[in-house]
Amino acid sequence: MYDCIVVGAGPSGGSAAYHLAKQKHSVLVLEKESLPRYKPCGGGVPPSVQNWFDFDFKPAVSLTVNQVRYTWQMGDPELVELGLAEPMWMVRRDVFDHYLIQQAQKLGAELKENSEVADIKWQSDRWQVTVKNPANPEQTEILEAKYLIAADGARGTMAKRLGFKERKKRMGAALEVEALVNTNNDSTLHFDFGSVNNGYIWNFPKADGYSIGIGTFRGGEDKQNLKEIAQEYAKSFGVDLSAIKQYGHPLCLWDGDMPLHTQNAVLTGEAACVVDPFTAEGIRPALFTGMLAARAIAQSLNGDSNALKNYTKKVQEEWGADMAWAQRLAGLFYRVPKFAYKVGIKRPAATKRMGKVLSGEERYRDIADAAIKRLTKGLIPGMG
């Protein structure tokens, strides 16, 4: 029997496994695919996450960038320096996720690939987890653990299996492609606003290509043809999207506090709906919640009966409280995007402040008052 079974080998699952194994706890990671596996994701990671781990992430970093190029409806460009102490990391999720799991394995964590959860049951003092091989569903195995971590993402089933009520979710949508061409040795982040409602298009360079994506981050039905818009955008980088496999996926955006713990189990990452509702940043909060979950379970194993309850509280205080400000900003920004582009995006100082927020050097609450006042002018007739 394991101290903990982690379901999902993404950033939050890998982070949790690493920190539990570091504390000498027996931990098993279940992953329904084989690692390394492709995962659609822009792959931007602030180097400040290095502070949460005592190994070097550099081998898993594809490229570093310190410049951002903005456009409005593919025109009116603005090139700005991020101005961070260290350049932003660009990662490929197949490499990054696998590397993180490998570090956990070095400390004793186990990985069971091609293993999908078919059922879970609480049996007096432990969880029984039935797993199946997706390629051969008749082939099942029962595993046991004192604790569970649900790190199975936006499409995962663990939250429902654990008995959580239908969670308060604000769903976004993204369409992404990985283009194995980087025509100009580009090392600049690209964002286009105005071409898609309630979101933006991005192009994040990697050492050997681009991650091009388009997303809407305010929820609700959207009749826009994301494929056509993304195709037009990609042409400007010499990329033909029609020849590349495209991946659509939901985004579990933060939309208010909710319980993240239950009987000997917690939710992390997108299963916990911690994606930034303004920028759709997901890797940093996934790593963060994975670390906090591991600490909570280690404390609970050592007899702290309030540890899991305190996990929910800590995520709400240290992440959720700031996401409330991010949500307010998103609500205003995407209501007056053209005005926001003019008074916000095109101001180099604004990019530097946002860079500090994304790196963890500042919080949304540090910048929100001034930004909200500036954006509110765009809602007043004659002021925009």
- Walk me through the domains of the chain, giving residue ranges and CATH numbers: 2-321 (3.50.50.60)
Kindly report, residue by residue over 209-232, the tens digit of the pLDDT: 888 888 887 654 456 677 888 888
Parallel, antiparallel or unpaired: strands 2-7 and 88-90: unpaired
Q: What sign for the dihedral angle of Cα 257, 258, 263, 269?
A: negative
Task: Band the pLDDT of 375: cuts 50, 70, 90.
Answer: confident
Residue 316's region, left for phi above 0, alpha for psi from -120 to 50, else beta, is alpha
Tell me the pLDDT tens digit for each residue of 59-112: 999 999 989 999 999 999 999 888 788 889 999 999 999 999 999 999 999 999
pLDDT tier at 150 (50, 70, 90 boundaries)?
very high
Helix (H) or strand (E) holding 93: helix 93-106
**pLDDT for 383 beyond 50:** no
Are residues 105 and 16 in contact, defined by beta-carbon separation less than 8 angstroms?
Answer: no
Per-residue pLDDT of 26-46, as tens digits, reads: 999 999 999 999 887 889 999
pLDDT band at 10 (very low <50, low <70, confident <90, very high): very high
What span, in angstroms and rounded, lies between the C-alpha atoms of 23 and 11? 18
Residue with the larger pLDDT of the pair 350 and 68: 68
Q: Which of 4, 29, 26, 1 is nearest to 117 (CA)?
A: 29
Residue 270: the pLDDT is 94
Q: Which of 12-21, 306-315, 370-379 has the lowest mean pLDDT?
A: 370-379
244 burial level (CB within 10 Å; 0-12, 13-18, 19+): middle
How large is the average pLDDT for residues 295-299?
98
